[in-house]
């Protein structure tokens, strides 16, 4: 299937050109396009800039063992967050450099996560990787970590602490490319259901910027149920209830498209259960959503697009922390809104062409939880195998 090879070649060449040159892989990473197996997850979220080559760490540096803390402060049970934690465990194990990964994975607010980070400092960790609940509220604890000589890495969203490194998907672009595809699909006219994530989370705020950037380019688009959309908290049950309520109100019959922030599968399931006609939808590359896009028998007439939003930032964050602990130079993106930031570039694929459908099929990973994103690996930033990520085991587990 030549068109698959060409698509992968374009994606892989882009990725390889952007990865950190100093990083080497001890496990199976994404293969070059011509060699990638049919089950390969999307290898598209490469860093936006290339770091200079650095010398390999010495034998003594390689032998050194670190204790790393990991804090996830919300959306427990959400496939993206669960996969993110599992990739952090997998990277810690695969690296051979982590003697212990202390994971605090719970639903809390910014104040609670501030305490979680302080608890990790008290535990004597060498580095802390975390998904922030707020861009500013965690700064006091991050400054305390810096004073204690602890490296800090924020993943999935940024913080404003100048001593912390940020590594995350470009969420503004994620929303923009998806919204632009949808608005063009509708011919620039119509009503769009705007389903968001967790209110106040930096990633949701950035996505709103990207969505509204596209919206400004298409003045013929109207947004419902409000101009600022409706929040799901990235909770599957909430997303389902939101759509059920929207359908029951009679408003669904008046919309022309849906923009979703990771809850596309639940939204489509609710529409199907209500025996409603599908409208074009864009969402993240969640396994279950991509399966729906490819299931023409089960979801007849469904047109949609998946935008890459890899949860492998968890593993990549551990990798980045180890680079910093090893004294390696990491070049960051000069165009990012915050210093010390590595941005990962999203890619969109839809199911409206043969090539698009072939690419979506190539993304799928056998045995993967359907609520997990398909991008299990990031070239240059993760060293575990997909099987290790699915196993979700860290050092000593």
Domains of the chain and any CATH numbers:
2-169+312-344+371-391 (3.40.50.2300), 171-307 (3.40.50.2300)
Query: What pTM value is reported for the model?
Result: 0.77
Of residues 198, 143, 206, the one with CA closest to residue 176: 206
Q: Token digits for 271?
A: 């529409």
pLDDT at site 63: 57
d(CA 395, CA 211): 40
Q: Which residues contact 219 (CB under 8 A, 6 or more apart)?
A: none
Count of beta carbons in the 10 Å neighbourhood of residue 32: 14
- For the chain, what's the residue count? 397
Q: Which of 22, 26, 165 is nearest to 93 (CA)?
A: 26
Q: Which two tokens stand for residue 362?
A: 């190539």
Q: Contact at 8 Å (CB) between 351 and 48?
A: no
Cα separation, 213 vs 261, whole angstroms: 16
C-alpha to C-alpha distance for 114 and 142, rounded to whole angstroms = 9
Coil, strand or helix: which one is 279? coil
pLDDT reported for residue 273? 98
Radius of gyration of the chain (CA): 20
Alpha helices by DSSP H, listed for the chain, are 2-18, 59-63, 79-95, 110-122, 139-147, 171-185, 202-217, 236-248, 264-273, 287-294, 313-325, 354-363, 386-391
Per-residue pLDDT at 89: 98
Task: State the pLDDT at residue 335.
Answer: 85
DSSP 8-state symbol, 161: -
Q: What is the DSSP letter of 47?
A: B
Q: Chunked in runs of 10, what are the mean pLDDT values of the chain (397 residues)?
A: 32 31 29 31 44 39 82 92 97 98 97 98 98 96 98 96 96 97 98 96 94 98 98 96 98 98 97 98 97 97 96 97 96 90 94 97 90 91 94 96
> What is the Cα–Cα distance from 324 to 348, expressed in whole angstroms?
32
Q: Given this model, what pLDDT does residue 26 score?
A: 30
Question: Rounded distance, CA 287 to CA 372, Å?
Answer: 6
| Per-residue DSSP letter, 124 | T
Instruction: Give the C-alpha separation, 114 to 108, whole Å.
Output: 10
Given its phi and psi angles, is residue 68 left (phi above 0), alpha (psi -120 to 50 degrees) or beta? beta
């Amino acid at each position: 299937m030549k068109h698959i090879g060409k698509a992968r070649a374009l994606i892989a060449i882009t990725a390889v050109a952007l990865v950190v040159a100093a990083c080497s892989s001890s496990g199976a990473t994404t293969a070059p396009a011509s060699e990638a197996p049919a089950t390969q997850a999307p290898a598209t979220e490469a860093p936006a800039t290339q770091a200079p080559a650095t010398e390999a760490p010495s034998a003594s540096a390689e032998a050194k063992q670190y204790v790393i803390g990991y804090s996830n402060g919300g959306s427990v049970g959400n496939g993206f967050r669960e996969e993110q934690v599992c990739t952090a465990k997998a990277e810690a194990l695969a690296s051979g450099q982590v003697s212990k990964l202390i994971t605090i994975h719970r639903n809390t607010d910014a104040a609670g996560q501030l305490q979680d980070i302080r608890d990790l400092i008290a535990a004597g960790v060498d580095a802390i990787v975390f998904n922030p609940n707020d861009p500013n509220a965690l700064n006091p604890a991050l400054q305390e970590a810096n004073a204690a000589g602890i490296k800090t890495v924020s993943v999935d969203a940024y913080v404003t602490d100048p001593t912390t490194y940020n590594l995350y998907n470009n969420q503004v672009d994620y929303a923009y490319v998806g919204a632009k595809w949808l608005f063009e699909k509708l011919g620039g006219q119509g009503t769009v259901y705007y389903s968001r994530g967790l209110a106040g989370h930096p990633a949701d705020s950035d996505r709103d910027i990207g969505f509204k950037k596209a919206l400004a380019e298409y003045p013929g688009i109207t947004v419902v149920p409000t101009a600022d959309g409706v929040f799901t908290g990235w909770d599957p049950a909430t997303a389902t209830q939101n759509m059920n309520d929207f359908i029951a109100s009679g408003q669904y019959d008046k919309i022309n498209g849906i923009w979703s922030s990771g809850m596309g599968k639940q939204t489509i399931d609710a529409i199907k259960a209500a025996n409603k006609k599908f409208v074009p939808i864009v969402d993240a590359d969640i396994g279950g959503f991509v399966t729906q896009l490819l299931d023409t028998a089960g979801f007849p007439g469904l047109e949609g697009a998946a935008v890459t939003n890899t949860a492998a930032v968890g593993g990549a964050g551990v990798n980045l922390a180890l680079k910093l602990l090893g004294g390696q130079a990491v070049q960051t993106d000069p165009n990012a809104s915050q210093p010390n930031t590595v941005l990962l570039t999203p890619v969109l694929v839809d199911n409206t062409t043969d090539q698009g459908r072939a690419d979506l099929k190539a993304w799928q990973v056998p045995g993967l939880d359907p609520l997990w994103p398909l991008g299990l690996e990031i070239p240059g930033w993760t060293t575990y195998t997909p099987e290790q990520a699915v196993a979700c085991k860290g050092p000593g587990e």
